[in-house]
Amino acid sequence: MAGLLSLLCPLLVAAFLVLCHATEQKVHIVYMGERRPQGDFSPASTHHSMLAGILGSYESAKKSLVYSYGRSFNGFAAKLSDEEVEKLSDMEGVVSVIPNHILKLHTTRSWDFMGFSKGKLGAPLEGNVVIGFLDTGIWPESDSFNDEGMSAPPAKWKGKCIGANFTCNNKLIGARWYNSENFFDITDFPSPRDSEGHGTHTSSTAAGREVQGASYFGLAEGAARGGVPNARIAMYKVCWSYGCSSADILAAYDDAIADGVDIISVSLGSDFPFPYMEDPIAIGSFHAMKNGILTSNSAGNSGPYPYSVSNCAPWTLTVAANTIDRKFVAQVVLGNGLALSGLSINNFDLNGTTYPLIWGGDAVNFSAGANTEIAGYCFPGALNSYKVERKIVLCDTMVTGSDILIANGVGVIMSDSFYSVDFAFSFPVPATVISNEDRVKVLNYIRTTENPTATILVAQGWKDVVAASVVSFSSRGPNPITPDILKPDITAPGVDILAAWSPVAPPSIDYKDTRSVNFNIISGTSMSCPHTSAAAAYVKAGHPNWSPAAIKSALMTTATIMDPRKHVDLEFSYGSGQINPEHALYPGLVYNASEADYINFLCKQGYNTTTLRMITGSNSSVCNSTTPGRAWDLNYPTFALAVEDGQPIQGVFTRTVTNVGNSYSTYTVSTYMPYSVSITVEPSVLTFSKIGEMKTFTVKLYGPVIAQQPIMSGAITWKDGNGHEVRSPVVVYNILPGYEYGIPTSPMTTQKTDKFEGPSMYHKTGILGRH
């Protein structure tokens, strides 16, 4: 009997845990597109009725409901068990049921570097544009958000300023906050106020007022300003110390669209791809696009690995990050006079004083169970404070520096060939990051010197002569969901950007750093995204009636060409090139696209008429076929041809351009492709006689059978002889057989039952993060 019980007990425990997991209620999003309730019922009452039918009572439904979306699209967020999710996902009118994924968050020299010192449109036009930010909140008292001389918000504005001890003004005209998990860390403010710094930084990068004398502890001192300093800001706080939840993101989109924003800036995303109708940013930005609002979002910080780009929906603008012509170098000088350069935003001044130098591996904390290898990496608790005290420590990898402080060290020299190349961090101690090759020199000096010493100098801003180049961490293509759509779309400065900061947020990578700053220098595609958001707002100010696709096209076709010799992955790293806001005001031609174009695209992604009618709320949405097809006819400003291994190069693309330049104009095409690829454009000349006139052309690509071929790229450019050059990259590359409709494990999942014929959006698990 005892033996039998010993076998049964683990099984009973496992069964109990499974049962508990199945009955545990977690927040899920029930997405219902734009199909409105029939009759006089409000969306909220319909949502309550649906929940009551599943949960058994209106009282249970009231306790379960977290959000009722209804201002801009239909749906709700509620606490549901797995069984309840299954039932709801089969209900008529439900597009998808999505777990409440937690996403990740993905300055002044940058605008001058791009040749955009100050916009030429003027304050009145800029002031008509509202940029909505989905982020960590904002510090409203920052000088970057003062409203001196600004007029009242535009009459169209319907937003609110919600939060205790929080005040908006004519610059910061709206602020809301969302927390579906009802969880707050001790550092979180239950208001739009920013305790992380990220949202304050992104919003001031895009639209901050000019602040003289801004710096990070004296580094990068100068005038800080956003790209459109007279545009209005609306903050939608969806991110907290633990991340950003999908339910909150959709609630923010629902409000932002109805409030009347013009551009939405989203510096966050997933570390791995989701189908379009399971991705809260893709869903929210689709409804924003329907309402004339362009979403600018970050590509992610998972580079340089292929297929790592996030935010892949074709109706959004996906932004990579590149360097600017300034880098922060903190030199370490050894006792023998050898000076080695490392990257670090080091503001600590040791006044040239030298300190004893020790390798972490020679200061092992044996009492904590460490060994030489562990201590060499300076892992937490691995260092012997008796040996480290008042010394500079050499570590074999990147660390935060906090453990050096705990062990009473003076400073740290870190070695990492990835983090010592093109971007810098700030630390809570004197620090620098050198290459692995230079680490060998430092260790040899320690080994051959009786009393080795060193000092670390204050960082200096050196000119980066190889800029602009896409930074190593910036996520790369190909597009993992739709290989025929080139992603990222564009690149913008995202390295060592100085912008406003929350004074209660840590000013370095150590979350325990208690120092306070009003401006900070950080890097990420989170920093490049607001640059492009500002550029989009600038174009919107100059052309208020342009569609999101037209604004996106203008930015992409006028982008500054990046040097392909610096980038082995070519357009998979930088898309169309680096944004050029002033040129984007006058693109000459634009590739426009409407909701109907994107519906046709989604049909070829496997979605059916029933599903798309729910998404759009219109019976006019029709799929003639749900058989997966290539996206070659979507009117996109770039061309991507994904060729299965062992197949010939063969693709025909249809495009339509709209004249937004001179009334009477003639454009002639020029093409470039590698010698092995044949490209023809028909017709090769386009003649326009009025503004708004549209012309259609085809691009044909042919070539031999290819296999294991890295990306090959060229371009087609339309020129009118009067300064307009409309350039579109063309890329050809190999994919594995069966990948022509995306990576099988992510974009196209299994079909649901007859009640829902589109791609399955129901996953039981999934955690996302901030960029």
Q: Is 198 a catalytic residue?
A: yes
Question: Which one, of 319, 570, 356, 331, lies nearest residue 452 by Cα?
Answer: 356
Where do runs of H (alpha helix) occur along 98-197? 109-113, 123-126
Question: Which one, of 607, 638, 329, 613, lies nearest residue 477 by Cα?
Answer: 638
Q: Is 135 a catalytic residue?
A: yes
SS3 45: helix
User: Is 120:586 a contact under the CB 8 Å cutoff?
Assistant: no
Question: Which one, of 716, 720, 715, lies nearest residue 667 by Cα?
Answer: 720
From the candidates 89, 135, 245, 665, give the one annotated as an active-site residue. Answer: 135
User: Is 141:204 a contact under the CB 8 Å cutoff?
Assistant: no
From the candidates 198, 531, 543, 771, give the one annotated as an active-site residue. Answer: 198
Bridge partners of 679, per DSSP, are 701
Q: What is the 3-state secondary structure (H, E, C) of 370-382?
A: CCHHHHHCCCCCC
Which phi-psi region, left, alpha or beta, contains residue 468 (left: φ > 0; alpha: ψ -120 to 50)?
beta
How does DSSP assign 614-645, residue by residue? HHHS-TT---S--S----TTS--SSEEEEEET
Residue 560 DSSP code: B
For residue 374, which phi and psi values (nearest 5 degrees)? -65, -45
What element of type H or E holds 611? helix 609-616
User: Is 653:633 a contact under the CB 8 Å cutoff?
Assistant: yes
Q: Is 543 a catalytic residue?
A: no
The angle formed by the CA atoms of residues 276, 71 and 91, to the nearest 5 degrees, is: 55
User: Is 79:66 a contact under the CB 8 Å cutoff?
Assistant: yes
From the candidates 204, 526, 533, 665, give the one annotated as an active-site residue. Answer: 526
Close Cβ partners of 525 (under 8 Å, ≥ 6 residues apart): 106, 267, 298, 299, 300, 301, 319, 320, 321, 473, 474, 475, 494, 771
Which residues are catalytically annotated?
135, 198, 526
